[in-house]
Amino acid sequence: MLRLFVLGLVLANAGYYAWSHGLLAAYGLAPVSQSEPQRVAQQIKPDMLRVLTLQEARQVEGGSPAAVQPATECLQVGLFNEEQTVVLRERLASALPSGSWVLENATDPGRWLVYMGRYSSAEVVTKKKLELRGMGVSFEALGSPALEPGLSLGSFNTQTEADAELARIAKKGVKTAKVMQDRVEQRGQRLKLASVSPALRSQLDAIKPQLAGKPFQACS
């Protein structure tokens, strides 16, 4: 029985070899040919084919080089008071393309601090920091030199928020902090450039003297 199985396996392998190599083609038994010489004959100047770059492909897809648009960003700067706005508007009109900028009414909210200080020395501030860490109370750098040396335990847009934080940290043992207003609400004009291309960005240096030292920021 085993001999018959082995003999059958040998015959099957021999038959597959003959079929796959076209030895049985005369009997109509042969694999389908994968070569298609007629397709090669139909190619038009295949030696002129080349791979396009990404930019070239985008240009072909869009129909012209203008289809590839440079990246733009939205920038804003301000606030500016009424006097500053008058001067800035005149400079913008002469230095930047029409329609590339707008001056908008805007408001910067007031700022309230939960504050500790002023202290007699930097050494006292260091000691207070250690005490606050022990209580699990965070603190941050002060943005106003007039309040140094001291500590900010948080800044808030409203007095109500600051009062709530003071009450919370008082439960942790903070006894000498207080709420104070660091900045009043300000109203004015904000300069906005909604679509700044690399070319337009190169023109912004012309208006920097009228920006009162205020930096451009990404639009919020």
User: Does 73-107+186-218 carry CATH code 2.60.40.10?
Assistant: no
Domain ranges in the chain with CATH number 3.30.70.120: 73-107+186-218
Spatial CA neighbour of 203 closest among 74, 100, 103? 100
The residues with which 218 forms a beta bridge, in sequence order, are 75
pLDDT tens, position by position, 46-82: 555 666 666 666 665 655 554 456 689 999 999 999 9
The per-residue pLDDT string of the chain (220 residues; one tens digit each, 9 = 90 and over) reads 666 665 666 666 766 666 576 666 666 666 655 555 555 555 555 555 666 666 666 665 655 554 456 689 999 999 999 999 999 999 999 999 999 999 999 999 899 999 999 999 999 999 999 999 999 999 998 988 899 999 999 999 999 999 999 999 999 999 999 999 999 999 999 999 999 999 999 999 999 999 999 999 999 8
C-alpha span between 105 and 192 (Å, rounded): 11
pLDDT tens, position by position, 98-126: 999 999 999 998 999 999 999 999 999 99
Torsion angle of the four alpha carbons 160, 162, 166, 167, in this order, in degrees rounded to the nearest 10: 20
What pTM, to 2 d.p., does this model score? 0.52
Fold of 111-183: Alpha-Beta Plaits (3.30.70)
**Look-up of token digits 């009228």:** 210
Structure tokens at 153: 């335990």
